[in-house]
Every structure is written in structure tokens, then in C-alpha cells.
Structure 1
């Protein structure tokens, strides 16, 4: 700098001033010295030193054009940084800055791609349109985007994004007239435009979901009626609908066939539902011709179908007192509570009838109970027992069990058990005769508690199943399989089994019964079943002499 008359004057300047350059291009800058400095300071272009951010540029990139002008050339602007300064060695040794510029390096905008638009209904009369696009690569420069739109004969103000570079929302659109939209990107290095879109905004509407959904039950136990309000005028758009529903405690949705709700409506009756079941419903809508977007799903609403009579009778079985006399039996009748989808309502009571087969003309004994078991004392004979379940809507079909005086029919063969996948499986070979069903009994064998019978039915077509109960490892179970025929039942075949075995909890207590010179007789008691934890296969005896040698 030159001080003259109290004013500070620059001894030179750089051109171009603060350029914006394309990344990867070449660039030349000129440092031009003022003539006044040449005379005053005895400085020339040959003394100029170029620097990038205080780093000296190699002299191979310099060129002395004349005594007042020096140039520097960069073949690739990727290496440029800011500032770029022109400096000089005053008096041959003192370096002084002449001038500096800010260099900005970046890229021109790419053509915006993947332009798409959607009209979100916000209220009955509010339809803003949001367009999104791919802005392309990062330019490293201030790049401005504008969403431009026009009718064939009229251009509208540009939509300028706020705080983003890939979307913009216009607050007012008109339906039933074609609109052309496109995106313009611009920065200091150039401009680019997307391909235009032409559409009627009515074709890209995402309507508000139906609201005020209500669910009501009617006379039929398999039907629920849905009613709702649509939030878009039929004059603007006719709608079609999707209705989904699920059982309240289930996560899997079912859907009404779309063709059943493909026309404008404000109500629909969903059929084929389970009686006395709580359902959850939700609904959505879109333009009737399928052009545009589905609304969000509406808020969920619940409804309960009315009761229907039970669809089947309870599964029934019996336990006959092992101490029965030749004259009388004590029979404990048992049946299983129906599953909710079978009960179709609240079971109020069970009706049990016991009829002697030897005296069909005699009226049956009838019992009304609200438990799932009944103990009766019967004369020795053959009986037909029926059980029906009753709810508010009616009675189930009867379940029938034949109790014969003797089990005279063929029994199953080759009864075996197999632990598999954490379950205890039972397999057998069926008799040659036609089987209606099988009854599988089991109970926990324990020296500390009674054998409490559990049971299940299986179809007559199977020859194996697993025990559907809380089967515990290391416990012994007595399993019995009965085949049931149309006119009687076969003898039960039994087997003991473990789900999982473990070593015994303790060893047996040994006593010496007789000791001779070369022999000893040892005795011990068997372990209790609770101590065995599995089947005892063998005993191993260890003994040793007085001097400690073990055998």
C-alpha cells in the first residue's frame, strides 16, 4: 500500500474479482500493479508471489505478462482455496500483500428429476398441493429452486421452498382444469429445468379419511352395520372405500372385498362374522375411478355381534369308580367348556340326560347344571348320555356318549410315546373296525397326590397326537387311549411316559441281609416315583475292602 497525502492507496488489484468457478475447470487470475507504485516503490511484476490460503503457489504456474501484470493458472480448480492473494517482496526481502480475492468453487445445478405432486385435503374446502423432486447432486453453491406452474393461458406466481430444496407447497389449486408444473434450479454457474408435468389436480387428491364411524349390531348374529360421514363433497369427488376389520384381541386384519365397496356410500353391512365377538373396524377412501391416492385409515371403532346358539356340543367323557359293584356304578361325567367361537355367547347352563339303553321306553333322567361335571350313581348297564350347552339364543347340538356295561370292542395296538419339540406325543395302531373318535386320558403319577384325570378327544381318522395340557419334565404320566365306536368302546390301552428324564433325586438306602465269608446279600427299597425322575434301568453296586480298594 502507498501512503500519499494522508490517503492509503492500493498498489494493485486482481481480476476477476471474487469469481465463482466450476469445480474441476481451469482458471487464470491476473495481478495488475498500479504505475504509481512502480515509481514510488521500485516494484515489478517479476517480484509477485501468489498464495492460496497463505500457501505459496509453485512458480511454474506464474507468467509475467509485462512489468505490471503477473498471471497465475490453475488447471484444476479442485485445488483452489480462499483467499487467493497477490504478494510482493519489497526491497527484495520484505513480503507485503498487494490484494486478495475470495474464490468460490462449485457445480452448476443438475436437471431436477422425479417430480411428483399430491393434493392433500386439509378440510372441506382446503386443498394445498405439495410437489417434491430430486434436486440432484450437491452444488456447493447457493442454489435456488422454484416450482413454476401455469394454465394454458395464465402463469401463476412461483412457489419458493422454505428451508428445503426438494419440495414446495402451494396453498390454492383449482380442479377440473389442466395445470403444467415444473422445477427450475439456478445458481451462479447456470440454470436447469425439470421435465414438466401436466395434470388436473383432481387426479392427485389424497382425501381426508371418513369420520364419525359408528358400528351397530342387528338381529342377525353374523352382521354388523357401519355408518360414517365423508368429508369431501360428492360434487367435487365421488368415492370408493376399503373396509378392514379384525377380532379385538387379534392383530391380523381382514378386508371386505374391494368390489363390494367400489361405489359412493355412507354405510355398509359387514357379513360373515362370528356371533358374540368383538370386532375392530377402520375405513379409508379414494376417488371412485382409482385415480389419486387412498386416504389414511380412519379412527378405529369397535362393535360386538349378538349371540347365537352354540355351534357344537361339549366334548364329554366319564370316569367309572374302580370299586363298582355288580349292581351299581358311580360314574363321574365330565365335559369341556366350549371355545368362545363355539359357545357364541355366555353359556348359562348345561342339560345332561342319562337314558338306559335296556329300557328305551322309560323317560331319561335329566339334570341342569352350571358346572362342567356331574356324578351319578347308576345300576349296572348300558347308558346313552347327552349334554347340551345353553346360552341366551338357544341350545347346542347334543354331545352323545355311550357308557357300556363292558368294553367289548377292539382296542388300539402298539401304543407308544415320543417326546418331540417340547411336547409328549402318543402314537398307536388303529383297530380294523370303523372308529368314531379316540379319547386320550392322562394323569400325573405321584406318591404324594391322587391321579387326577385329564383327557382330550381326537378324530377317528388319526393315529397319533400330542397331549394338550401342562406336561412337565421329570414327571411320570399314565396315558390311556380308548377307541369309541358307534355302538360301544374298546378297552383302554395304557403306557407310562416322561416328557424329559433326569437322573434320580437320590440313591437307594442299602441294608445287609446276610454276610458270609465270601458273599453278602444286600437289599434296598425302590425309589418313589417322585424321586425317580425317569425310568430306572439298572442299579450299579460299588463296594470296597477295609483297606480302601474300591471295586
Structure 2
């Protein structure tokens, strides 16, 4: 042993140390009192080396117990031993305190120590029986209060920048006003200087990054009188930014039984090798909660939905954040074969009653009704019903005149409360109906009236329909008004009724070589709308009478010419040449 040739006091200290280290297991780190004079003699052969134990630092973690301390160090560079054995000795000379922690297998040690005196720490690495390395640290407790590194870090890349949100433990957060961020490209050996200061205690933004490169980030608080030590955090590796949107290749409906549908969504992503997965969010277009998110590593998703309209977004994600979102609205399914018959009656412009035929309350007690005008966001109301086959819905805004509303009733299998619990496989659609609170007559007329297949006594009229929003009610058909051009309009003018689904009609029994004036108007249950501008069309002349008169004139001319010239008259008129 190294102390065999030492004086007796040192020999006794060495024997005592051997005794304690023999009794201790590899995990035993209980303190043992030591004599400061014996440290240099027993560990005099240990050397300070860049290849040995190094970077010893001790500190007071903010928020730890009253006398709590911690020391950490870095092991030797070339590790060849599976079991590491460190000894940590803590001294406070002014009060002649010395504590020794032996057989430490890790690279840190917590302990209790007075915070009123300066301290000196010695760490010895005795893992190698042939050599011993050491490191020393001294400091004042007032300068050794440590905050950090951060306990939580969120990173988000977009638009060639990196947004960072960092937070510390609750005990530290109230003392940290700012923090610094240093970063470098993943393959670089040096940090970009200077570090970037945060905007406040939580947020920091790095700008002008290369979207296609990966970066390494470290974070530390900005030191102050409460946090005198601010170590850098571990490395955070930030993968490249996801700049492309997913592309939706397919969003298809497959109606199922009892008012449900299978929606299959398929997409692709150009930078799929950078994506860790995809987030698909689906929510009702009416705005009813919740908006449900589905995370998947595949590019295909199947959902069981009702016939409502839904908003769909798809983003790719990795540790750096999300890609731009691909968005799509899944329209309400216009299924004429819904199994339920729905009725709506209006109780003034601030409420309506929705009723149904089937005895639904035997199976369901939770319902939802949606109503909307074309091109506008749907309103919704969920309700509980276990007695009647109807529900009175009171409105926050009045119903509008001459506007067509669609009303849809959904059934939900869940008990009260009747709000939507989730999106997928959560409800089915019972029935749907369209209705006007009040109908009006059309405010515009059919347009672009043309004729085709014109003969001496008939013609086919064609036109374009009145825009749906101008009908102001359910279109019941068209009135076709026509008369000869020179006649005045009278109460006896011919009016023909044409079905609402037609935009053409054949007029017959007309006079040849006659100009007709034509007008069209649409009508609803509230009456006839405005007439179109007049259009004029002429039937063909009687072609056979014209041909006979021409023949007679030619024959007379032929006879007179031959008689006057003394030439013989043939039995038929010779062919005429142009």
C-alpha cells in the first residue's frame, strides 16, 4: 500500500479508510469524517490530468432542502473499467469540517452542508489500481446557486425559423427572467456566436435557418443574483423543417346502413422520409365540439361518420414540428334513402318543432338537430328526449324570409349529457328535410331563351333556369307566355305550364311565316315571378305554294316567248339553269 512508509498518524488514517471502504458496498455513499491533514498525504500520488476525472463543479440546486448541495464531475476520457470507484471529500476549513464519500459508482453526489461557509471539494478516481486522478473545486455558497437546465422544452420549426418554449421547475421559474440559446448545424463542430437571447422567460426564436438542415440546440438561463449558475442543457437535435403539405389523393363516401357512412381518406407526402407520422383532425363543420385528432404512421384512415359536414386537416410531423396543413371539407351526404321521415313546423321566426315518425325513444334518448342555409355554417342543438317524438328548438337568431333551410336529425347512443363525445362512430343520421320559413315568388326570370327545330308550324324553345337563391321558395314550374308579334297582350293569351324539372318546350299549331313573341316566368306556391324579356322567333313560310307559283310563271314566260318567235311549243317546260 502507498501508506506503508508514512508516519504513524497517516498509517492510522489509511487503516481507518480501508476499514470503511471494505465495509461499504459499491452503492454505499454514506459520509465518513476525515482529517483534512491526511487528505494530501493519502492521495498525494493522485494527479490532475486532462485524461482523468475532470470538470468537477459543486452547487446549491435552487429549491432543494435547506442545506442541500450537489457535486458533479466528468469521468476520465478513456474508460476501460466496468466498475468505477470515486471518492468525494468535502471541506469547510473555517469550521474544521471534513466529510468523505467513498465507493461512488456514478458521477454525482448530493449531500448536506452549511451554506454559511466557503467549501472545497476533492474528487478522486481510483478505478485504475495503477493510477489515481483527481480534481478540485472551491467556491462560496452565495455564488453557487444553480438554476436549470430547463425541465421542459418544446421546439417548432416553420418558415425558416425555430420557435422555442422553455420552462424550469416551479421553484426556479419565478427567478428566471431570460434565457440564452446556442445552436449549430448538426455536422458542425462550433456553435454560432453569439447565443440568442429569449424574448421573455418562456419564448425564443431562431431565424434565417436552412429548412433542409438539422440543427443542435442548447439552452441555459441568464444568471442573476438568485441563479448564479446557469449550466447549458443537454443537446436537442432538431430535424429538418417540413415545408410541403400532404396531398389528399382520395376522400370517398360509402353509405352504410342506418344513416352512417364510411369515409376513406388517403394522402401522400413528398418528404415522407422526414416525417415521423401524420396528424389527422376531424371536426363537425357546425363547430360542435370535439375536434378529434388521429395520429398515424400510415397514409390511410377510415372513419365511421354521420351524414353531417366535417372539416378535415392533415399535417405531417416530426420532432421539429408540423408541416403546413392540407384541408378539406367533407360535405353533408345527400342521401335520399335515409330510413327516417322528418317533419319541421315553424312557431314564428324564433323557434321550430322537429318531429319524427319512428318510435326512436325506445332505442335512443340523445339527439342532435342541425340546420343551415346553403353555403353557410350549420347551427346545432343537442337534446335529451325520452317521452315524445318531437322537440321544440328555440333559436338565438331569427329565421330569414324566403331562405331555404336544411334540417337534419342525428341519433346518439350515449346517455346524458347529450353533447358529442367523440367524432368517429359517434352518431347516425335519422332523416333530413328542406323547408322555407316563408316562401316568396321568384325575383328573377328564366334567361337565354332560344329556339331550335323551327318549322312552318312549330319550334322548340330552350332556356336557363332561375338561380336557386332567386326562387325564394320551392320551384313548382314555369309559365310560358306567347302571342303573335302584332297582337297586344290580353287576358286570353296562351299560357303554358312547364314542369319545374324542364328547361325546354315545343310549341305546336303555329302559323307559318309568323313572328311570335315569347316570355317565361317561374312560379312557387307564393305565386308567379317576374317575366323575362321578350324574345322573337319566326316560323318558316309555306314552301310548297311558293314553288307552284314559280312554276306557273316560268311556264307562261316560256309559251309567250315561243309563240312570238314562231317556234314549236314543247309539252313541258325545259329545266332552268341558274
TM above 0.5, one fold?
A: no
Structure with the largest fraction of strand? 1
TM-score (normalised: structure 1): 0.30
**Structure 2-normalised TM-score?**
0.29
